[in-house]
């Protein structure tokens, strides 16, 4: 595993961060509560991640109604792992305490998150999305207070565009931005990656495998496996249609074979070898699924090899 500091003053994070959005549900929607990984599987995945040097787990107060944070807290306590694993969690999504990025909501939700996680501090606290009803000065001010109080180590933004990040940087010092980024969803990213790099803000990519599309397990014209994330929450691609994605998958699989790796490994390596990317957040559904993701850390792709993959997608 390799590690890098997020931004200038953020925590040291592994190249692969464990995403815990499948613990107990599939993300935040209440209709998916109970349709994600069970507690036993979640613990097995966390064990495998820790053993592999994955020293940061990513969650949110809204994931499975708080169950994701709760299970992480129970795992941390049962494994005596609080010194080995850092936590990043999010606020502002649809949680039981409401949603939004007001000062009162942020302060209320961090208290709930810390209690569920069983910790006094999280390494990185991130907005789950934007909130146009609240001035960015209020949101950033609340985060700065929590840093000063020692309840969070640093803070960042998720699902922000470049102007939104610029506005946050004008009034504070977020160290990280976390947005979706993968071979099938990338054209929006040039402005954000350029801004993050120039301002020395870390960039962590979520959905680096396009919600499972880039694992190569799914085929066009065939229904996804029952209970899979693809079946429950198909990815929302911005750069091309699902149909087009399925059209290019065979060629991407051929290129993965040529590299002697799975498509999962190749697609994730494409993300990790982007010089603007600090780390990628992955959501394996089992300890076995984590292995090809970890292999991507050691797969070095040249600029030409990355360009070849994007050219396949762009046609």
Which helix or strand (DSSP H or E) is residue 202 part of?
strand 202-206
DSSP result, 93-140: SSBTTB----HHHHHHHHHHHHHHHT-S-EEEEEESS--TTS-HHHHH
Residue with tokens 């997020």: 6
Specify whether the CB–CB gap between 139 and 71 falls below 8 A. Answer: no
Q: How many residues does the chain have?
A: 315
Compute the Cα dihedral for 13, 190, 164, 62 and give only its sign.
Answer: negative
Residue 187 tokens read as 């054209």
Nearest to 92 by CA among 76, 109, 115: 109
125 is catalytic: no
Distance CA 11, CA 24 (A): 27
Q: Which of 63, 125, 181, 206 is catalytic?
A: 63
**Which residue in the block uniquely carries the two structure tokens 């146009």?**
132
As a whole number of angstroms, the longest Cα–Cα distance in the chain is 54
Which residues are known to be catalytic?
Answer: 63
């Amino acid at each position: 595993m390799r590690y890098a500091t997020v931004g200038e003053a953020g925590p040291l994070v592994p190249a692969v961060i464990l995403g815990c959005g499948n613990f107990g549900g599939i993300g935040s929607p209440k209709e998916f509560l109970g349709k994600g990984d069970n507690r036993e599987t979640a613990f097995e995945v966390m064990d495998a991640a820790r053993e592999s040097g994955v020293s940061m787990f990513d969650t949110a107060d809204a994931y499975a109604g708080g169950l994701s944070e709760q299970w992480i807290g129970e795992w941390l306590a049962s494994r005596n792992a609080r010194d080995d694993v850092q936590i990043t969690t999010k606020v502002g999504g649809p949680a039981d305490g409401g949603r939004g990025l007001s000062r009162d909501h942020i302060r209320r939700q961090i208290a709930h998150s810390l209690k569920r996680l069983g910790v006094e501090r999280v390494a990185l606290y991130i907005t789950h999305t934007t909130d146009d009803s609240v001035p960015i000065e209020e949101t950033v001010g609340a985060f700065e207070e929590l840093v000063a109080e020692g309840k969070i180590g640093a803070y960042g933004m998720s699902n922000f565009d470049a102007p939104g990040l610029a506005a946050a940087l004008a009034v504070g010092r977020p160290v990280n931005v976390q947005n979706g980024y993968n071979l099938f969803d990338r054209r929006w990213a040039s402005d954000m990656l350029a801004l993050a790099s120039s301002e020395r803000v870390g960039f962590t990519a979520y959905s680096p495998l396009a919600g499972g599309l880039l694992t190569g397990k799914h085929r066009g014209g065939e229904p996804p496996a029952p209970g899979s994330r693809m079946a429950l929450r198909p990815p929302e691609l911005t750069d091309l249609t699902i149909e087009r994605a399925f059209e290019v998958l065979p060629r991407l699989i051929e290129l993965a074979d040529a590299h002697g790796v799975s498509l999962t490994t190749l697609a994730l390596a494409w993300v990790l070898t982007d010089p603007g990317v600090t780390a990628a957040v992955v959501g394996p559904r089992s300890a076995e699924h984590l292995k090809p993701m970890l292999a991507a850390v050691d797969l070095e792709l040249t600029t030409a090899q990355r360009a070849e993959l994007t050219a396949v997608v762009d046609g």
